[in-house]
């Protein structure tokens, strides 16, 4: 009965969007154009405190391997307010505060960034640097005139640009019509409406019409909240596709129907997928978002905060674009300063991309980097006043939202179901069997706070005030790069006689029944073994993702030392699941070699089929290719493999002589589609042995993985969108063809 009622309501109330964009165009008056203003005068570069902010980006100019750099910031003397180092994906540097000297290693792929604040700046104020002892001097006036200055010394590249803060602000709620002075009030969050005008070129009209229909009903749920919410926050992905103006215009006509002031937070669909923000200060890709925000509430900000009642609120930007935070390091400093000023107030933090683990692909790589997550969470936890962190992005079902909600350093972290987008596949039926779309209602009473989610079906689910604590020690890979893990000379517990001790695992979403990923220590044919199994997620319905799953793997890190060595292991296919061999699934031994924080070796040995998308985009470099080799498995007998990883990675033109750590990953993957029963494999007896020649399995040489056994993305159209679902296009064509 409830489903029939919902369909009837959507059919009548959402006709404007289900019929296409014609009706929208008749209403829409268009959004006023917006251009982010680049400074034309020196005074326009100064921040809101009258300081000049300089950003320094350092990387190697040519070589991929890391190189040691010594940076000295010598002048302008007493005018130098502070210098902050942001290593991002690099190891932290050594600091000598007395002479403001920083020594660190940096490679070509990931920059080391500094932010410098200068008091009482003038055009002739000099910035005097030394790069590995060689002086570099420029004036602030020169930097303003050129916008960016670049230098190269001994293979090190230094880029300098100014930082602005026009897109950062502190909001006066009264100016938006938000009632102030209240101790008791509510507000509403809508995550991921992701709608727009389905007739826009390159739009995905079917899924957009579906989103629009659900958004319409979510807005009705907002307007039914009594008393009226103080405000409504759209928590990113306001629009679908790549932030086209037509989508913002359609959503403006749509969202202005909410009967309370509306605030926007930016997500990853508000800009072009290929938007570039480094190394200069380029903001034009946000112009459509700025225009929409200004038309809705008068603001022109990406990052802002405000006070209401006893509470402080912070809206954080998450465009999820490469190098965005590396290009805007002063956002972290602003966040620190803002929380310091409000450390005695309970605080709510809003970000589009979750900072807590969700446990499915693609939410490993399709998230912010380890460095960004740790920076943000470290700042938020400093004073103990941040009570909740709300996020979107995932399109998570309600059941999964409740199960993944966690507490970290006293902060309750909740990922919200979407207001418009269909849910991703988590392998389980929804708690009530109906749509997951809806809105979150947060009730404030003095310093007390509670939240509940209300679906478009008017089902209500309350989040408990006490949430399970996230264990960083149990799942170290969420807030650590693999090169940061403890390193030992030998493989420990390679026979799994101590369970999973010394092996590092990820948080994998725990399906209640028949989990699609299994990682268990079992006794099998007289061996103590690691059993890994992956299959298609259960309960697939139209609109859910069909994205390959590679999350089911664990790892251990060993010192490479000075003497060549091989990795030896035994493996065996699970005969109940690993036949026939024509399915797109398999097991792997994935080896990653690091010199410091720079990955210089990347290769996988496959049993079954291989997947070219086995990756870590936060440490991978295009100049360090992933090579693929085949581990033969003709039957269900145990196989002994000896992996000569240095030899197998030869010919790449990379100097591996200074590698200091090797990460050994064991895992399984599945295409997450079709009718395959899954793929299982056993591993045991991993050890480091002396180099005895070539890689081999039971006397046979290990060969390059056949191309027909590799699942690859179609280079020209990696995604298709069918009724709202993501699906990769599969190709077995060689990338060279």
What range does the domain containing 640 cover?
A: 515-702
What average pLDDT does this structure show over 131-143? 96
What CATH number should be reported for the domain holding residue 369?
Answer: 3.60.21.10
Residue 401: its H or E element: helix 398-404
Final residue before a domain boundary, out of 417, 446, 462: 462
261-305 confidence digits (pLDDT tens): 999 999 999 999 999 888 889 999 999 999 999 999 999 999 999
pLDDT: which is higher, 582 or 364:
364
- Co-location of 132 and 197 in the same domain: no
Half-sphere exposure of 523 (CA within 13 A, CB side): 1
- Spatial contact of 263 and 233, defined as CB atoms under 8 Å apart: yes
- Co-location of 529 and 622 in the same domain: yes
Q: Are strands 148-153 and 627-630 parallel, antiparallel or unpaired?
A: unpaired
- Co-location of 22 and 50 in the same domain: no
In a domain, 628, yes or no: yes
What CATH number should be reported for the domain holding residue 137?
Answer: 2.60.40
What CATH number should be reported for the domain holding residue 651?
Answer: 2.60.120
Final residue before a domain boundary, out of 425, 441, 462: 462
Other CB atoms within a 10 A radius of the CB of residue 579 amount to 16
Lowest mean pLDDT among 187-196, 336-345, 607-616, 670-679: 670-679
pTM for this structure?
A: 0.94
Tokens 């008791």 sit at which residue? 184
The rounded percent of the chain whose pLDDT value lies above 70 is 93
138-166 confidence digits (pLDDT tens): 999 999 999 999 999 999 999 999 999 99
- Comparing C-alpha atoms, which of 565, 556, 581 is closest to residue 632? 581
Query: Distance between CA atoms of 268 and 319, rounded to whole angstroms?
Result: 4
- Co-location of 379 and 419 in the same domain: yes
Half-sphere exposure of 384 (CA within 13 A, CB side): 0
Q: Are strands 411-415 and 386-391 parallel, antiparallel or unpaired?
A: parallel
DSSP class of residue 484? Answer: G
195-223 confidence digits (pLDDT tens): 999 999 888 888 889 999 999 999 999 99
In a domain, 362, yes or no: yes
- Co-location of 158 and 209 in the same domain: no
- Co-location of 293 and 313 in the same domain: yes
Mean of all residue pLDDT scores within the chain: 91
- Co-location of 76 and 143 in the same domain: yes
Predicted confidence at residue 503, as pLDDT, reads 98
On the question of pLDDT at 112 being above 60, the answer is yes
On the question of pLDDT at 177 being above 50, the answer is yes
In a domain, 500, yes or no: no
- Co-location of 47 and 28 in the same domain: no
Final residue before a domain boundary, out of 131, 163, 195: 163
In a domain, 727, yes or no: no
436-491 confidence digits (pLDDT tens): 999 999 999 999 999 999 999 999 999 999 999 999 999 999 999 999 999 999 99
- Co-location of 66 and 190 in the same domain: no
- Co-location of 272 and 417 in the same domain: yes
In a domain, 88, yes or no: yes
- Co-location of 398 and 305 in the same domain: yes
- Co-location of 301 and 235 in the same domain: yes
In a domain, 550, yes or no: yes
529-555 confidence digits (pLDDT tens): 999 999 998 887 777 787 889 999 999
- Total of domains in the chain: 3
**Class of residue 575 by CB neighbours under 10 A (exposed 0-12, middle 13-18, buried 19+):** exposed
The confidence band for 730, taking pLDDT boundaries of 50, 70 and 90, is low
In a domain, 129, yes or no: yes
pLDDT: which is higher, 625 or 719:
625
Query: Distance between CA atoms of 243 and 70, rounded to whole angstroms?
Result: 41
In a domain, 651, yes or no: yes
Ordered strands of the 303-308 beta sheet: 168-170, 303-308, 311-315, 347-350, 386-391, 411-415, 406-408
Predicted confidence at residue 4, as pLDDT, reads 30
């Amino acid at each position: 009965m409830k489903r029939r009622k919902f369909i009837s309501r959507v059919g009548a109330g959402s006709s404007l969007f289900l019929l296409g964009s014609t009706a929208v165009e008749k209403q829409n008056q268009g959004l006023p154009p917006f251009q982010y203003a680049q400074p034309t005068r020196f005074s326009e570069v100064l921040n809101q405190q009258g300081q000049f902010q300089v950003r320094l980006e350092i990387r190697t100019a040519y070589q991929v391997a890391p190189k040691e750099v010594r940076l000295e910031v010598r002048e302008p003397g007493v005018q130098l307010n502070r210098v902050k180092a942001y290593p991002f994906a690099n190891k932290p540097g050594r600091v000598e505060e007395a002479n403001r000297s920083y020594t660190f290693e940096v490679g070509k792929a990931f920059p080391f960034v500094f932010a410098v604040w200068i008091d009482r700046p003038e055009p002739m104020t000099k910035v005097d640097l030394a790069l590995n002892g060689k002086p570099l001097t420029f004036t602030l006036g020169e930097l303003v005139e050129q916008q960016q200055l670049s230098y190269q010394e001994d293979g090190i590249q230094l880029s300098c640009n100014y930082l602005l803060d026009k897109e950062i602000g502190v909001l006066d709620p009264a100016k938006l019509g938000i009632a102030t002075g209240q101790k008791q009030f509510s507000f509403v969050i809508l995550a991921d409406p992701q709608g727009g005008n389905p007739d826009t070129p390159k739009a995905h009209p079917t899924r957009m019409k579906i989103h629009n229909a659900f958004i319409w009903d979510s807005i009705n749920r907002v307007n039914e909240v009594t008393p009226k919410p103080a405000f409504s926050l759209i928590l990113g992905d306001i629009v679908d596709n790549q932030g086209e103006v037509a989508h913002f215009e359609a959503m403006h006509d749509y969202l202005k129907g909410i009967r309370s002031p509306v605030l926007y937070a930016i997500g990853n669909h508000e800009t072009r997928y290929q938007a570039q923000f480094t190394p200069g200060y380029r903001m034009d890709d946000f112009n459509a978002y700025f225009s929409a925000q200004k038309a809705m509430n008068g603001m022109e900000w990406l990052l802002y905060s405000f006070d209401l009642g006893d509470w402080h609120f912070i809206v954080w930007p998450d465009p999820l674009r490469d190098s965005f935070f590396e290009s805007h390091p002063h956002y972290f400093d602003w966040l620190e300063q803002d929380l310091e000023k409000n450390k005695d107030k309970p605080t709510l933090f809003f970000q589009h991309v979750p900072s807590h683990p969700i446990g499915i692909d693609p939410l490993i790589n399709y998230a912010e980097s380890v460095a960004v997550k740790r920076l943000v969470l470290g700042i938020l936890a400093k004073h103990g006043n941040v009570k909740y962190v709300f996020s979107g992005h995932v399109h998570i079902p309600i059941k999964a939202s409740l199960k993944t909600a966690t507490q970290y350093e006293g902060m309750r972290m909740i990922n919200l179901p979407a207001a418009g987008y269909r849910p991703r596949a988590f392998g389980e039926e929804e708690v009530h069997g109906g749509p997951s779309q809806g809105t979150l209602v947060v009730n404030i009473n003095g310093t007390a706070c509670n939240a509940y989610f209300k679906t478009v079906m008017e089902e209500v689910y309350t989040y408990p005030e006490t949430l399970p604590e996230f264990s960083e020690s149990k799942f170290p890979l969420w807030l650590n790069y693999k090169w940061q893990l403890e390193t030992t000379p030998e493989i420990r517990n390679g026979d799994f006689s101590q369970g999973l001790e010394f092996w590092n695992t990820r948080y994998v979403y725990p399906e209640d029944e028949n989990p699609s990923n299994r990682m268990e220590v079992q006794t099998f044919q007289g061996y103590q073994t690691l059993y890994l199994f992956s299959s298609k997620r259960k309960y697939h319905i139209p609109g859910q993702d069909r994205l390959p799953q590679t999350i089911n793997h664990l790892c251990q890190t060993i010192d490479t030392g000075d003497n060549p060595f091989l990795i030896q292991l035994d493996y065996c296919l699970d005969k109940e699941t690993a036949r026939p061999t024509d399915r797109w699934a398999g097991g792997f031994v994935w080896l990653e070699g690091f010199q410091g924080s720079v990955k210089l070796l990347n290769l996988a040995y496959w049993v079954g089929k291989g997947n070219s998308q086995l990756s870590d985009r936060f440490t991978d470099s295009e100049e360090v290719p992933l090579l693929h080799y085949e581990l033969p498995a003709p039957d269900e007998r145990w196989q002994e493999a000896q992996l000569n990883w240095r030899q197998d990675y030869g010919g790449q033109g990379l100097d591996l002589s200074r590698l200091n750590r090797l990460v050994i990953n064991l895992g399984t993957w599945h295409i997450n589609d079709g009718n395959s029963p899954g793929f299982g494999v056993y591993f045991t007896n991993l050890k480091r042995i002396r180099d005895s020649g070539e890689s081999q399995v039971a006397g046979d040489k290990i060969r390059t993985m056949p191309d027909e056994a590799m699942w690859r993305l179609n280079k020209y159209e990696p995604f298709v969108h069918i009724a709202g679902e993501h699906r990769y296009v599969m190709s077995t064509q060689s990338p060279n063809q």
